């Protein structure tokens, strides 16, 4: 459906006992957007991602991914989403090619296409040379890049990238951001990017949401957020200053 938001949540809540992880979240991300999802550790960002993936049941409220309900149609939703998780695990005894082959098989890709996609994905993240090495011998940055290769292999319509640049060297970070930008530009992929590195978010994201203790305290473009906090003429403020302002006000 044209004009349908890629992600939409209404009054989405998740409670663990008395603790509220996500509190009445109303989030809307249009197709093709790079949405920066900011917030301190434990703010409920990852929980939100898991609810959108259908891996965690919401306590109340609704979530929609391209109009699909992740609770009722988890398989169709998961087909659309590539998820690069924080602290992701790998099978250490496999090499990168075997890992990608396994992911391709889980996604039901035919072997020939899987091979082509895997080669392209490894080239894109700069791991083509090391593809035959066991993952157990990879550095943290290499694993992170392999994680991105897994997302690319799937060619999803939406990518959830949870702290994708942690542990990467400057070259790796630049390459990662480049890949993200190219994906949205060339393939119209929607990206939900969680990160603490605000400079990067400022660089690649078209819109930004700030989540603090389970509540979305702001969402909009950088200019909109700036105006909301500092009034017209506050152009010199960086995202970091805006974010800290929101954070201190919400936790005060």
Partner 1 sequence: MSALRAIMRKEVSDHFSSSRFLILFSLIAMVSVLMVYMAGLKIAQDLEGEVKPTFVFLMLFTSSGIGFPLVQFVAFFGPLVGLILGFDSINREWNEGTLSKLLAQPLHRDAVINGKFLAGVLVIGVTLTAIVLVITGLGLVTLGVVPGAEELYRIFFYLLVSLVYVCFWLGVAILFSILFRSITTSALASLASWIFFSFLIPAAASAAPPLSGESQTGYVMRMAELERTLSLFSPMRMYLESMAVIVDPLRRTASALVAVGRNEDISLSRFAGPLSLDQSLLMVFPQIVFLVAILVLCFAVSYIVFQRREIRSI
Where do contacts with partner 1 occur on this chain (CB under 8 A)? 16, 21, 47, 50, 53, 55-56, 74-76, 78-79, 81, 83, 85, 87-93, 102-103, 105-108, 150
Q: Which is nearer to partner 1, 47 or 173 (CB)?
A: 47
| Beta strands, E only, the chain | 7-16, 19-29, 34-38, 60-65, 81-84, 158-162, 190-194, 207-212, 215-220
Q: Which is nearer to partner 1, 93 or 235 (CB)?
A: 93
- Cα 79 to Cα 85, 157, 167: the distances in Å are 16, 9, 28
Report helix, strand or coil for 191.
strand
Q: Which is nearer to partner 1, 59 or 227 (CB)?
A: 59
Q: How far is the CB of 82 from partner 1 (least distance, A)?
A: 8
C-alpha closest to that of 160 among 23, 34, 12, 5? 34
Whether 156 contacts 189, CB under 8 Å = yes
Q: Which is nearer to partner 1, 47 or 219 (CB)?
A: 47
Q: Which is nearer to partner 1, 134 or 229 (CB)?
A: 134
Q: How far is the CB of 98 from partner 1 (least distance, A)?
A: 9
With tokens 């936790």, the residue in question is: 251
With tokens 């640049």, the residue in question is: 165
Q: Give the whole-angstrom CA distance, residue 214 versus residue 179.
A: 30
């Amino acid at each position: 459906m044209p004009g349908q938001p890629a992600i939409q949540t209404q009054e989405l809540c998740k409670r663990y006992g008395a603790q509220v992880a996500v509190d009445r979240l109303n989030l809307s991300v249009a197709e093709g957007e790079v949405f920066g999802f900011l917030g301190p550790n434990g703010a409920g960002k990852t929980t939100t991602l898991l609810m959108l993936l259908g891996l965690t049941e919401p306590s109340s409220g609704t979530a929609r991914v391209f109009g699909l309900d992740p609770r009722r149609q988890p398989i169709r939703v998961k087909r659309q989403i590539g998820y690069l998780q924080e602290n992701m695990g790998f099978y250490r005894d496999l090499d990168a090619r075997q890992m990608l082959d396994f992911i391709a098989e889980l996604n039901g890709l035919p072997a020939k296409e899987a091979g082509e996609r895997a080669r392209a994905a490894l080239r894109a993240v700069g791991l083509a040379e090391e593809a035959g090495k066991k993952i157990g011998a990879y550095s943290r940055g290499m694993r992170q890049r392999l994680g991105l290769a897994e997302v690319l292999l799937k060619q999803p319509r939406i990518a959830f990238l949870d702290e994708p640049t942690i542990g990467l060297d400057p070259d790796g970070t630049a390459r990662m951001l480049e890949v993200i930008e190219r994906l949205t530009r060339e393939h119209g992929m929607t990206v939900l990017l969680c990160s603490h590195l605000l400079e990067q978010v400022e660089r690649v994201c078209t819109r930004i949401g700030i989540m603090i203790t389970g509540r979305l305290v702001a969402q909009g473009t950088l200019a909109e957020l700036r105006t909301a906090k500092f009034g017209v003429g506050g152009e010199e403020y960086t995202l970091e200053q805006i974010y800290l302002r929101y954070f201190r006000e919400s936790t005060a």
